[in-house]
């Protein structure tokens, strides 16, 4: 398969650089040197495109991380607010706490009876 021929004008200093590459025996001809440099230029363009794509992805991930961090901060604030709620709003005792209090206050015979019938725990209001 024959290669298409092209010709172009280049600055004198670039021609001298290509000539020096040939004289240093890095390439057999100016054409080989120019083909090599064009291939490296194409590879550089491809790598630049990959780099740009990855930098864009990094920015997306940094934005996502910042949003997640803000959400975590908001959750911490909500958790602190819930912990600081007055006892009247949260409820004075949970079911387990009321059940345990009843068991602690009951006599032995009452606890034995409740073993079979269950501890009667109602939503009682604490009147202290």
Give pLDDT tens digits for 25-57: 899 999 999 999 999 999 999 999 999 999 999
Give pLDDT tens digits for 72-115: 888 888 887 777 666 556 566 777 888 888 889 989 899 888 88
The domain spans of the chain are 90-121
Specify the pLDDT at position 100: 87
**Degrees to nearest 5, angle at CA 23 with 36 and 4:** 35
Helices marked H in the chain: 12-23, 30-83, 87-90, 95-105, 108-117
Handedness of CA 5, 6, 11, 12 (dihedral sign): positive
Yes or no: say if 21 and 27 are a contact pair by the CB < 8 Å rule. Answer: yes
Q: How confident is the model at residue 128 (pLDDT cuts 50, 70, 90)?
A: very low
For 82, the token pair is 């819930």
CB-count burial class (<10 Å; 0-12, 13-18, 19+) for 18: buried
pTM over 0.75: no
> CA-to-CA distance for 12 and 16, rounded, in angstroms?
6
Taken as a whole, the chain contains a residue count of 128
Specify the pLDDT at position 124: 54
């Amino acid at each position: 398969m024959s290669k298409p021929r092209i010709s172009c004008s280049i600055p004198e200093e670039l021609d001298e650089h290509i000539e020096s590459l040939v004289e240093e025996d890095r390439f057999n001809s100016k054409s080989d040197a120019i083909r090599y440099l064009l291939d490296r230029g194409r590879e550089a363009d491809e790598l630049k495109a990959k780099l740009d794509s990855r930098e864009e992805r990094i920015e997306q991930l940094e934005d996502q991380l910042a949003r997640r961090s803000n959400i975590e901060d908001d959750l911490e604030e909500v958790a602190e607010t819930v912990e600081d709620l007055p006892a009247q709003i949260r409820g004075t005792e949970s079911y387990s706490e009321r059940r345990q209090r009843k068991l602690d206050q009951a006599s032995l015979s009452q606890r034995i009876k409740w073993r079979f019938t269950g501890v009667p725990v109602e939503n009682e209001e604490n009147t202290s």
